[in-house]
């Protein structure tokens, strides 16, 4: 009732909200960790890596650096798939190339089957749909993986336009990916809102493309100041209404 009263008389039928997927709706860190633990256990590598947490810390560091290279076009998708494990396992003197390739393939297969979403993700999307917003996805993730995540978690039916960076050859924060997404959605920048966890890729990128933006940062790890920063997804409906309202 409170939600209905708040937005009484407002119409958002020509307003568009673009979501990032990983670390915004789909809890990448928890899902990834579960998949990695299962794979290392199956490969009998936990003891060789001095415990899972020891491996996971190294993997996160290597993976982050390699994703930056991929985002700048300095690394291919196929190279990234295996190099992140090759680099991490090398620290523990695990050099079996066949095993590394097996782990890389297993992760791409198992990771999108994990179904942990951030709290209230589905409820918030339902509310936004009821308010009349058009919902879309803009993600830098791999196409085959991102679609599986959405299907397995029940997210897919909420979204009209889904843009993956590898489909158009540009990663966020490049303006072209935002412009492409808005063209596909038939959305004007002033009527468009981007919601994501990465300030550089999602927020700065969207603003440079003329869009509104909400920065989702549940842990408040960044010292940057931004007016529309939220720590919980259930803050989105009111914020979106203010930014895209009449």
- Claim to verify: residue 100 and residue 140 sit in the same structural domain: no
Domain at 88, CATH number: 1.10.150.240
Q: What is the enclosing helix (H) or strand (E) of 56?
A: helix 52-71
pLDDT of residue 245: 85
Which residues of the chain, if any, have pLDDT below 70? 1-11, 246
Can you say whether the dihedral through the CA atoms of 59, 65, 71, 76 is positive or negative?
Answer: negative
Give the number of domains in the chain. 2
Q: Are residues 23 and 33 in the same domain?
A: no
Q: Please tell me whether residues 23 and 70 are part of one structural domain.
A: no
Q: Last residue of some domain: 113, 142, 172?
A: 113
What stretch of H or E contains 163? Answer: strand 161-164
Q: Do 218 and 137 share a structural domain?
A: yes
Q: Give the CA distances from residue 199 to residues 62, 210, 216, 217, 221, in Å, rounded to whole numbers and listed in that order.
A: 21, 15, 9, 9, 11
- pTM for this prediction: 0.91
Same domain, 12 and 69: no
Residue pLDDT, tens place only, 126-174: 999 999 999 999 999 889 899 999 999 999 999 999 999 988 889 999 9
Give pLDDT, residue 9. Answer: 42
* Domain around 238: 2-27+117-244
């Amino acid at each position: 009732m409170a939600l209905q009263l708040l937005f009484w008389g407002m119409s958002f039928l020509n307003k568009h909200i673009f979501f990032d997927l990983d670390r915004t709706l789909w809890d990448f860190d928890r899902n990834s960790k579960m998949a990695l633990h299962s794979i290392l256990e199956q490969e009998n590598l936990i003891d060789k890596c001095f415990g899972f947490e020891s491996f996971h810390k190294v993997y996160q560091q290597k993976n982050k650096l390699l994703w930056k290279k991929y985002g700048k076009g300095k690394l291919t998708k196929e190279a990234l798939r295996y190099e992140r494990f090759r680099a991490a396992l090398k620290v523990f003197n695990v050099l079996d190339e066949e095993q590394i390739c097996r782990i890389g393939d297993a992760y791409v297969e198992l990771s999108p089957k994990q179904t942990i979403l951030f709290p209230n993700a589905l409820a918030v999307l339902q509310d936004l749909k009821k308010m009349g917003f058009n919902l879309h996805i803009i993600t830098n993730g791999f196409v085959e993986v991102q679609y599986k995540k959405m299907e397995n978690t029940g997210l897919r039916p909420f979204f009209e336009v889904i843009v993956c960076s590898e489909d158009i050859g540009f990663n966020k924060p490049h303006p072209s990916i935002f412009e492409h997404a808005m063209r596909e959605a038939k959305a004007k920048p002033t009527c468009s809102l981007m919601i994501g966890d990465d300030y550089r890729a999602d927020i700065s990128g969207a603003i440079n493309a003329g869009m509104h933006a909400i920065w989702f940062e549940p842990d408040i790890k960044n010292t940057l100041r931004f007016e529309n920063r939220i720590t919980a997804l259930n803050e989105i409906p009111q914020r979106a209404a203010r930014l895209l309202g009449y």
